[in-house]
Amino acid sequence: MAKAVTRMTIDDAEHISAEDRAEIVANYPPHEREARTRGIPSLGSGRIFPVADSQIEVPAFVIPEHWARIAGIDFGWEHPTAAVELAWDRDADTVYVINAYKMKERTPLEHSVSLLPWGDNLLWAWPQDAYQRDKRTGGTLRDDYRKYGLCMLPQHATHRDGGVSVEAGLMEMLTRMQTGRFKAFAHLGDWWSEFRMYHRKDGQVFKEFDDLMAATRYAVMMLRHAEALYLYSDEAEDTRYVPANEVTGY
């Protein structure tokens, strides 16, 4: 028997006037509004980003050429490989999630073919596990993706102080959300699904259904390396990403 889930929000109840809908929403406690009016599950105190969708959700728009961009990628096979592109309005110090990708059981070549249209000059932040050698190719994941055209940053994602703390990265993202400096395009369904369900279990980050959140965190960690794509032409010889030492990658 086929099954389907249909989620409706209070805005779909068009038989209720806009004024009455606004009054209904206002009468709910703030922490219950997303669940009661939009059908979004509430995870209570366990939710990592206890932020209403409306605080960070924006409709898609054309990104100005001078805005800096950077992408983050989280590698997987049985669990998905996920990628996120950020655009950074430096003047307002506001970050926008503008692209999201999530697929499992595909090779680096297949992922690269899907991701290259985001920009062949786009810089990519990646985690430490990309130093591991792929049993099938003998190369590292970082090298494989570089070979297929992605501009992988020379070093794995770190904070400015060189650390890789997950909690520090999450706090930076949450602080941006709470201060109006982190937004996400409304149509990115997979990203929003993870955002809403991203939570802790027994005090620890629940390491399932978190691939896009991890990719976002890597990109935010390396935001200092973001660049405007128009600065580099396809014809220009670009050696920014060639490591000084091909063995160590630095």
DSSP classification of residue 77: S
pLDDT of residue 239: 40
Tokens of 2: 């086929």
pLDDT of residue 236: 41
Q: Which helix (H) or strand (E) is 196 found in, with range? A: helix 189-197
pLDDT of residue 37: 65
pTM tops 0.85: no
pLDDT bin (cut points 50, 70, 90) of residue 87 is very high
Half-sphere exposure of 224 (CA within 13 A, CB side): 7
Tokens of 121: 């000059």
Q: Which is higher by pLDDT, 243 or 14?
A: 14
Q: Which is higher by pLDDT, 92 or 240?
A: 92
For the ranges 14-18, 79-83, 152-156, 245-249, the lowest mean pLDDT is seen at: 245-249
What is each CA distance from 239 to 23, 41, 242, in whole angstroms? Answer: 58, 47, 5
Q: Is the pLDDT of residue 41 over 60?
A: no
pLDDT bin (cut points 50, 70, 90) of residue 150 is very high
Q: Is the pLDDT of residue 237 over 60?
A: no
Q: What is the pLDDT of residues 173-187, one digit of tens each?
A: 999 999 999 999 999
Pairing, β 68-74 against β 81-89: antiparallel
For the ranges 18-27, 36-45, 88-97, 156-165, the lowest mean pLDDT is seen at: 36-45
What is each CA distance from 103 to 7, 46, 147, 215, in whole angstroms? Answer: 24, 27, 20, 13
DSSP classification of residue 105: S
Rg (CA), the chain: 20
Pairing, β 81-89 against β 94-103: antiparallel
> Mean pLDDT throughout 234-242?
42
Is residue 158 within 8 A of residue 225, CB to CB? The reply is no
List, in order of start, the domains of the chain with CATH numbers.
10-42 (no CATH), 56-231 (3.30.420.280)
Q: What is the pLDDT of residues 188-201, one digit of tens each?
A: 999 999 999 999 88
Q: Quick one: how far is CA 138 from the chain centroid?
A: 29
Is residue 159 within 8 A of residue 221, CB to CB? The reply is yes
Q: Is the pLDDT of residue 219 over 70?
A: yes
